[in-house]
């Protein structure tokens, strides 16, 4: 960083220059510089609004806008020199503008404060970032739907308590994550609606003395509404909390997927093979293939939770209106968005390349007493109360485990030792295929229901 004049743009009432430790402690430029396109966008709109209010002449407005556009080009092309003494991106741009066009650059801040300026920049930034993230979510959903379509006939054990429970279609399992991601998508869209409110014109806290048309500013910047209370406008960071909350829930879902990918790719399960290009090896053990991507996504979940908690804690004790504590909103927000975007993007690519092992899944789906519930429901259809049928089948399963036999190895006569209601037709229900076919209600794992859901999802995601 270079070194401009040490005089601050706000230093009029001060007799001492800022201590170098204070400058280092308070500077936000290293992380808030990413807001530059939004700061310039807001300043151009502000300049046009001031022209409409006859605070600027048309010529003054044109000169300021040309200067701002030159600064944007300089930053885009890496030619802009940032100075730590400027504290933040707002001051950095204003200082450069004054260098380019002279004292006229100092008029740009008329009728606004850094308080409403940064509130605007942050909203513009999030409005830009969320649609990009939802596109990545859609990409991951499409990868999951593709895998579900590709492996529609494959049966696997469904689990509760990480114990084999009932057979389900692998496609049904994949589509469960599509549903989770759809809720994430909707939460982010809902947050986008609520943050679509323009705060500029609120000044430092009380509003502005100039007859600015705030609705014009909002229109120029693409906002659908303007804030109703200046105190709230400069101190509100609910949208940051809401976005980080939605990101945290999204990471919960990715972490659950991570856990299953890690388990399923282990030698104990062997349900799937992760792509080599998304795994790493061991520096000591040549045979290892480590699911590092899945493990890192699982680990980064805690990081995003921390971003949310840090923001909530920062906000909880702030009196109205603006406080410098609010500078601490940006790093958690930027980190949360960066982390989640990277995690969703990499999973979108990983899931396209996932290899399923049908034989291992099929073998697992035919062992472990997965059809016990089918037997209990069979007895219910024969008139046995469910609690009684549950006890009968529980005893039957226990005996099979002690004898190291599976349910489908029993004869009709052996079944009848436990209940006379068992008939020859009991053997027809003792296959995973028949068990799945009976789950034909909406939301069930029957092939026709999964196929119906697949068709609907493919059409919607294509749009």
What are the residue numbers of the active site?
Answer: 161, 282
Q: What is the Cα–Cα distance from 225 to 104, expressed in whole angstroms?
A: 30
Give me 398's structure tokens. Answer: 């226990």
Q: What's the CA dihedral at 310, 242, 462, 447 to 10 degrees? A: 80
Give me 310's structure tokens. Answer: 């840090």
Tokens 């741009």 belong to residue: 93
Cα angle: 46, vertex 50, 55; to 5 degrees? 150
Name, in order, each residue with C-beta under 8 angstroms of 236's C-beta and a sequence gap of 6 or more. 119, 199, 227
Give me 147's structure tokens. Answer: 């895998």
Tokens 């944007």 belong to residue: 72
> Helix, strand or coil for residue 49?
helix
Residue 166's DSSP bridge partners are: 158
Give me 177's structure tokens. Answer: 């994550």
Phi, psi of 355 (to 5 degrees): -110, 130
Alpha helix positions (H), 209-291: 214-221, 230-235, 238-264
Give me 463's structure tokens. Answer: 């749009």
Q: How far, CA to CA in Å, does 281 sit from each of 65, 71, 287?
A: 54, 46, 8
Q: Give the H/E segment covering residue 354.
A: none
Give me 159's structure tokens. Answer: 């689990």
> Helix, strand or coil for residue 80?
coil
Could you count the other beta carbons within 10 Å of the beta carbon of residue 260?
16
Q: Give the H/E segment covering residue 38.
A: helix 36-52
Burial of 285 (0-12, 13-18, 19+ CB in 10 A): exposed
> Helix, strand or coil for residue 280?
strand
Report which of 186, 246, 168, 223 is spatially closest to residue 450, judged by C-alpha positions.
168
């Amino acid at each position: 960083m270079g070194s401009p004049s040490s005089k601050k743009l706000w230093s009029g009432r001060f007799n001492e220059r800022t201590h170098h430790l204070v400058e280092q402690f308070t500077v936000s430029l290293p992380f808030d510089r990413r807001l530059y396109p939004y700061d310039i966008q807001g300043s151009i709109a502000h300049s046009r609004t001031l022209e409409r209010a006859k605070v600027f002449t048309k010529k003054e407005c044109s000169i300021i806008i040309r200067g701002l556009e030159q600064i944007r080009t300089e930053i885009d092309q890496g030619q802009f020199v940032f100075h730590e003494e400027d504290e933040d991106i707002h001051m950095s741009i204003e200082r450069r503008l004054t260098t380019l066009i002279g004292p006229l650059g100092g008029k740009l801040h008329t009728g606004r404060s850094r308080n409403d300026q940064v509130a605007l920049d942050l909203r513009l930034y999030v409005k830009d970032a969320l649609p990009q993230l939802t596109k990545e979510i859609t990409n991951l959903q499409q990868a999951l739907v593709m895998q579900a379509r590709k492996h529609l006939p494959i049966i696997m054990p469904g689990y509760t308590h990480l114990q084999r429970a009932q057979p389900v279609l692998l496609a049904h399992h994949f589509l469960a994550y599509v549903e989770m991601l759809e809720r994430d998508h909707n939460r982010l869209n809902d947050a986008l609606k609520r943050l679509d409110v323009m705060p500029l014109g609120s000044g430092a806290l009380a509003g502005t003395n100039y007859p600015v048309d705030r609705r014009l500013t909002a229109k120029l910047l693409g906002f659908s509404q303007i804030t109703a209370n200046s105190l709230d406008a400069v101190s509100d960071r609910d949208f940051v909390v809401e976005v980080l909350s939605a990101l945290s829930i999204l990471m919960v879902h990715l972490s659950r997927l991570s856990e299953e990918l890690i388990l399923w790719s282990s030698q104990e399960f062997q349900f799937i093979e992760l792509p080599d290009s998304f795994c790493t090896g061991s520096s000591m053990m040549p045979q290892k293939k480590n699911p590092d991507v899945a493990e890192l996504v699982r680990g980064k979940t805690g990081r995003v939770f921390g971003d949310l908690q840090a923001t909530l804690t920062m906000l909880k004790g702030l009196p109205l209106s603006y406080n410098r504590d609010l500078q601490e909103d940006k790093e958690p927000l930027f980190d949360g968005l960066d982390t989640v975007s990277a995690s969703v993007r990499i999973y979108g690519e990983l899931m396209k390349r996932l290899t399923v092992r049908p034989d291992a899944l099929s073998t697992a789906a035919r062992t472990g007493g997965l059809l016990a519930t089918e037997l209990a429901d069979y007895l219910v259809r024969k008139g046995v109360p469910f609690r009684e049928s549950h006890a009968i089948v529980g005893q039957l399963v226990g005996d099979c485990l002690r004898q190291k036999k599976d349910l489908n190895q029993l004869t009709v006569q052996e079944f009848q030792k436990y209940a006379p209601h068992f008939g020859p037709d009991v053997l027809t229900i003792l296959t995973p295929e028949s068990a799945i076919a009976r789950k034909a209600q909406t939301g069930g794992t029957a092939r026709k229901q999964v196929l119906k859901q697949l068709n609907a999802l493919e059409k919607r995601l294509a749009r």
